[in-house]
Homo-oligomer: A and B are copies of this chain.
Amino acid sequence: MPDSVIAEGLTRDVVASAAGASSARLREIYTKFVEHIHAFVRDVELTPEEWLAGIRFLTATGQKCDDVRQEFILLSDTLGISMLVDALAGREASAGTESSVLGPFFTTDAPDVERGASIATKPTGIPLDVTGSVRGPAGNALAGVAIEVWEVDGDGLYDVQYDGRTTPDCRGRVHTATDGTFAFAATLPVSYSIPGDGPVGEMLVALGRHTMRPAHLHFSLATPGYLPLTTAIYVDGDPYIESDAVFGVKPSLIGPYVAHEGPRYSLHRDFVLVPERARARA
């Protein structure tokens, strides 16, 4: 019997068991998941020993999660699943700035930052001046847009990665002025390793992959009437720009980070948001 038809009746029985699912959408997701995961098991002729290794990997991944660590999001990120979900969600917004991963380091306690002030509270790294604007697809300035920005410090760590963190660092909330522009200071982002001390780090080592992300500054923009946008602007020429461990880089999201004397850098980026009505499916 070819493997493709081994236990076909089993797959049918598992699918049929959800005939009474609480919603048609849940039943659809369950059905497709069962069909794809069974096809995977048949395709690779998964052995009982490999199955047990998979059970142990998933268990360890769940047990690595806590209040400040989400190993399953890291797994999703490193398998490109997060960026695929993002691509599917963003396909109506193609007139706007492209999106990128939120990542596991966003927090909700970023302070409001005055125009021109810095989000970095400690003197690590090279200073960076960020300016830009937020507009609609027709070029109309969007005033009062809340922009969350966050990044690693000059040592390559997010504030939440320090034990005993009491106040936010390298994160802030800025707003656009009436002409749609914004300005703040920060630290030139540096490339850094995603957490490598868990099951996902072990997986990447076994796969011959590295754990590095190219340097980037996170932006998350929201204003009434427009689709929210989560993205990041990557540093031109970073050694990991072509091999991001979480596949977040898109060509339109690279730089320009410009070097000045000091040293000091600057970045100027204009963002385009798409009105909410564009989300309606054809």
Contacts and interface: CB of A to CB of B under 8 A. Distances in A.
Interface of A: 1, 3, 6-7, 10-11, 13-14, 17-22, 26-30, 32-34, 36-48, 50-51, 55, 58-63, 65, 70, 72-73, 76, 79-89, 91, 206-209, 243, 247
Judged by DSSP, the binding face of A is helix
A83 B50 contact: no
30 contacts: A6-B87, A6-B91, A7-B84, A10-B80, A10-B247, A13-B80, A17-B209, A20-B207, A22-B207, A26-B206, A27-B207, A32-B40, A33-B79, A34-B79, A36-B39, A37-B81, A38-B80, A42-B88, A46-B85, A47-B88, A51-B82, A51-B85, A55-B70, A55-B76, A58-B72, A59-B65, A60-B62, A62-B65, A63-B63, A63-B65
Contacts of A27: 207
Contacts of A26: 206-207
Contacts of A86: 48
* Best-buried of A29, A34, A47 by chain B (most CB within 10 Å): A29
A55 B84 contact: no
Nearest to A55: B72
Contact of A88 (B45, B60, B206, B207): B45
A199 to B, nearest CB: 10
Contacts of A70: 55, 59
Contacts of A33: 40, 44, 79
Contacts of A37: 36, 40, 79, 81
Nearest to A199: B62
Top 10 A-B pairs ranked by shortest CB distance? A62-B62, A20-B208, A14-B80, A7-B87, A36-B40, A18-B207, A51-B85, A36-B36, A21-B207, A59-B65
B206 A42 contact: no
A5 to B, nearest CB: 11
A243 B89 CA distance: 37
Contact of A14 (B44, B88, B247): B247
A58 B20 CA distance: 23
A34 B80 contact: yes
Contacts of A3: 88
B21 A208 contact: yes
B44 A6 contact: no
